[in-house]
Structures are given as structure tokens and as C-alpha cells.
A = this chain, B = another copy of it.
């Protein structure tokens, strides 16, 4: 432990008891990671392997780190964003002998140094988020990069970056697109982001959802989860899409459908979930209603173009914790939640534990697969059989089972 403390850079080791409690709470609600994954890793494939873990550093992530360490891996941890690090959780990890480079209040420059410190531990395997570590290794630590055995990646955006590396002939190892596993994107993006985003917005604003008109920009899995929950709580979602098929699904799901130009003037709340940039940008500012609230549920901090808004404003005031009001020259005020960052993480608690239990099980299984070897360089997804195993483990934790198809139940196409 003292070794880990020497190698680590954290805020205060004395915070460890609080972190331990938080990890224990996460463990209680993570049966798949704590049981299924733990058993799967017991084959020794990770024994003595150097694993870098760069994900938002809070209790759920820390649980994954401990399960990896219990399986024999030498785990080195950093946060995938400085603002999301929980210092007491970092302390608890160091206290149990895991090397950590992360503090909440350090800012982006120090965070970059932390990532390079992780790279310098020469990991064989990386569990990444947004490909933050992998791309930095490719650019700044070519030798360590060349030594990588494999990478598993959490997000759509990170997978896109890995694919870009592969297309450029610069991915000399196999990568696992955890995001593309059914147990990740079908649950994390829809139920996880859905609940946590609504919760964060309620928490930041103390406003009533019932009766709100909410422009939901983007009707992918995230937008669907959001619109479903908002409607269920009594709001009227107005879906803005670029794909007519998705827009038609939104319409038949009972939502209003409109262009941004049509939707914005009557929206009380606007939530972006496009995965792209500037979903709400300079050309939309004239359309926003006085008092509107803007929140982002998509990957990029740039879905709401806060820079454009700041350029147009005569004054910016923090009117409540996590809410800034931009006073526009014509007297309208526009409120931005959590600075336009992912509102469920930057302005809330992040995903519910049970969702990360699935997502981290996928990451852990992906890492284990890479450690066992046999994958070509390129971007892979865990097999459907493994995906089903994870889902079955989750169901089993709730005491639920699925049926098996009997021989006489298969459809035999009529003789031709």
C-alpha cells in the first residue's frame, strides 16, 4: 500500500474511509461485476498483467478496478475528466494498493500529466473512455503505444476515434468496442442517460417536469430514453431530428416532431442528444424563449455552443449552483446547465449503479478477452454469446430466467 501511495498522485489519503463506503454501496448494487465478472476473471488470464483504467473516477469505476486487481492485474487508474474525480474514492483505491493519478480540482494541464503518468506505467491493456488515453499514447508515447496488447473503449465517440486510427493504419492491436455490445448501448444510453439526465435537471433547477415543453434534439437511444421518461413525468417532448425515419418513430411514440426553428420558441427546456456539434448554435439564439433552460446529454461539451452564447451575451451570472444565466442584449435570459457539459455527470450523479454494472461487465469481459488473445488488430465487439451471458447474469441477480427453444419450436420454412 505504501508503495501505491508513493507512486500515486491523489488529493488526500485520509479520505479513504468515505471512499470505501461508496465503493461498498456500488458493490452491493453491481451483481454482474461482483459475481459474474469476478468468476470469469478467475482463470488467471489477467494475473500479473498491467491494466490502465481511465474512466470517470468514482465509486462504480473503482469497483471495477478492485475486481481487476483481485484477479491479479496491476491496475493503474486515472479519471477520464478531471471534474468527475471523487477524491475520497481515489484515496480508497490507493489505500488498498492501487496506483492512482487523479484529483478533482487539478485542472486540465495537470490532468494531461496524469494521463501521461499512466502511459508511462507501460500498460499492456487499456480500459478507456473517449479513447482519451489511447489517442494520447499514440501521439505522445509511441513506444508504450507500440507495446499495447489491446484496448477496450466505453463510448461511441471513442470507438469512432479508434476506427479512425484503424483506417489510418495506426491501430496495431485489437480493440473492443464495448459501446457496441448490446449490454452497453441498449441499456446505458437509453435507461441510464435517460434517468440520470432527468434527475440531474430536476436537481439543478428544482422545477416541475409536469407541464414542461421540452425540445429533445436527437432521437437516438439517448433521445428516446429522455423523451420516454419526460413524457411519463408529464412533460411534452418535441423531437428535433434530421432522419425522417427516426422522426416518424418519435411521432408514433406520441411525441411532437418539429425542426429546431419551429421547436425552440416555445420550449421551456432544450436537451441536446445528437452526438454531433452545435445542435444549438449561433443561428438558434434568436429563437430561444426568455428563461429557457439548455442542457446537454450528448457526448460533446459542444452540442450547446456555449461560446457563441457567451459572445452574444451582455452578462453572465451564476443564478443557482450549476446554472448560468446569459443575458442577451434584447433582454432575454438563457440558462445553461452545468456549463454545457454532460449534465448527468457534470451536474448530477452519473449513470445509476445498475447500468454501470452492465457497462463495466462488458468492459471487463472485453479486457479479459484481449488478455486471452486471439484477436486480430482492428475494432471488435464481444461475441453475442458473451453479450447474452452478461444479460443472463443480470437477470439471474434479479431471480429471473429465460426459456430455451425446444426442437419442435423452430420455424421450418415450408418445403420449396
Contact = CB atoms under 8 A, between A and B. Distances in A.
Contacts of A394: 244, 248
B161 A388 contact: no
Given A319-B24, A353-B208, A416-B135, A281 B229 contact: no
A209 interface: yes
Nearest to A199: B202
Given A24-B319, A28-B291, A233-B229, A253 B210 contact: yes
A405 B276 contact: yes
Contact of A252 (B22, B187, B389, B412): B187
Interface string A172-195: 000000000011001100011001
Interface stretch (A69-77, A115-123, A234-242): A234-242
A83 to B, nearest CB: 18
Interface string A374-396: 00000000000001110110110
A253 to B, nearest CB: 6
A206 B20 CA distance: 16
B401 A259 contact: yes
A258 B207 CA distance: 23
Contacts of A109: none
Contacts of A202: 195, 199, 349, 352
Contacts of A21: 318-320
Given A244-B395, A248-B391, A254 B276 contact: no
B245 A182 contact: yes
A42 interface: no
Interface of A: 21-22, 24-25, 28-29, 135, 138-139, 157, 160-161, 164-165, 168, 170, 182-183, 186-187, 191-192, 195, 199, 202-203, 206-211, 229, 231-236, 240-245, 247-249, 251-254, 256-260, 262, 274-279, 281, 283, 291, 300, 318-320, 323, 349-350, 352-355, 387-389, 391-392, 394-395, 398, 400-406, 408-414, 416
20 contacts: A24-B319, A157-B411, A164-B413, A191-B208, A192-B208, A203-B349, A206-B350, A208-B352, A209-B352, A211-B254, A229-B232, A229-B233, A231-B254, A235-B254, A241-B403, A244-B394, A245-B388, A257-B395, A259-B403, A278-B406
Given A242-B404, A244-B394, 11 more contacts: A21-B320, A25-B319, A187-B249, A209-B352, A210-B253, A211-B252, A229-B232, A233-B254, A247-B395, A247-B402, A277-B409
